[in-house]
Structure 1
Amino acid sequence: MAWEVGRGFMKKVAIITGAAKGIGKAIAERMVAENYITILVDVDVENGQQLAKNLGSNAHFYSCNISDEQAVATFFNTIVEKFGTVNALVNNAGIIKDNVIWKMPTEDFDAVIDINLKGTWLMCKNAASIMKNQQNGRIVNIASRAWLGNPGQSNYSASKAGVVGLTRVLALELGKHGVLVNAIAPGLIDTPLTQKLPLEVQEKLIQAQPTKSMGKPEDIANTVAFLCNEKTQFITGQTIYVDGGKSIGAGI
């Protein structure tokens, strides 16, 4: 079931969290291009509303704190009431609060886990109920190559490792119900956050890549579109690295 538009034409509904900027913005743009009714979720109201306006009538913005259980439940009730269903969920929202463990405040650990892991879990929980009932759906969780371990990111790496584990469990639980669940682990991607790094740091990171290049948000968006495509029927529980080969080792 999907939102009915015109005479019997059914459009699918996709939800993207953290959609206002960077990778989330690119995913939203791609899903609109794929003819999804695209629900943009973010706490950045100004940029989120502007993006929805720019993307046209297929895009709708909603502000939601994804770490708040009641807020997430209310959000999903609103979406189902208005659009009828949810066909695809892309969990992209995440925050970073880096520090070495002996200097990291506990509240910084909690904040990252709440958004990156708990928020993803809450979104998956609500979407899973809908998708299970309709016996169809796609969930894509944006993890990170950092789940393998990055110094100074004990909170972030732990949260993304949790996302990878969550993805595998949900694939096992939901596979028989026609729901495919996968994760994407981006590496060095050219986003506003990356652009804030000093140029010499950016160049050092680029040279550490086997491809000697930086990825683009569209690289992630293209992978999301592939995983959400109806023709992709036999991939689930996987973590797909979009990192220019960095995860297999540097020095190439």
Structure 2
Amino acid sequence: MQTEVSSTSDGRTSSSVGHVTPVDQQNAEIWKKPLKEEETDEDEDEDEDYFYGGTSSLVEDVTPEVRTEQNAGFQMVLKEKPKHDDYLYCEDCRSFFVNKCDVHGPALFIPDVAVPLGVADRARQTLPPRLEIRKSSIPDAGLGVFNSSDTIPVGAHFGPYQGDTVEREEAMNSAYSWVIYQSQQCEKYLDATSEVHSNWMRYVNCSRNDEEQNLVAFQYRGGILYRCCRAIERGQELSVWYDEEEVLPG
């Protein structure tokens, strides 16, 4: 299990344990469709050059010494429990689950519009209904994604984030990259710079503070999802960060 500590432009310090992390943190009805169960690892066929996967997470602001103990304990738990990115998180119960919450059922999933790879302006065309891309409310952030219809409920999931698998050096120079942890010593860098290989999630900006955040980015089954952690009203911009308080079970 790898641990990464990073500092943001607004002074926030974050630690990540076995979850998705933004490579460049500065740049970076239909609402009720349940998340379909994923195929087993044996059935998955992943393209080495192009990747779009699924999401889970998660982090806690603790000392390195405490985190080391947590990591060791969690790795032992994994021998009897599903791997760390098989977990989803229920915002209402404040607890993790696999496939469905015992109280609230399957996770809500808002799917992309299906668009073939290589289509010009593909990223924009994958935008789900009731969302729109326009100038961000964040100064100098360029474009952003806004809710143009009914309130998006807490617990809704977007994704997976789509893009090209690239080398670390290329990812570090991109404003659209995330690192995905595949094992203790293996990372995958996902870059959404190309609009013909990515999806609309490339336009979601990182939040500048806790009050602005309404989405949580997390790793799930080898990919990245965004989970709604605050209800998003009509006209509000979607704003993402990775979680700094949740801790994986174990």
TM (normalized to structure 2)? 0.28
TM (normalized to structure 1)? 0.28
**Which structure has the greater CA radius of gyration?**
1
More helix by share: 1
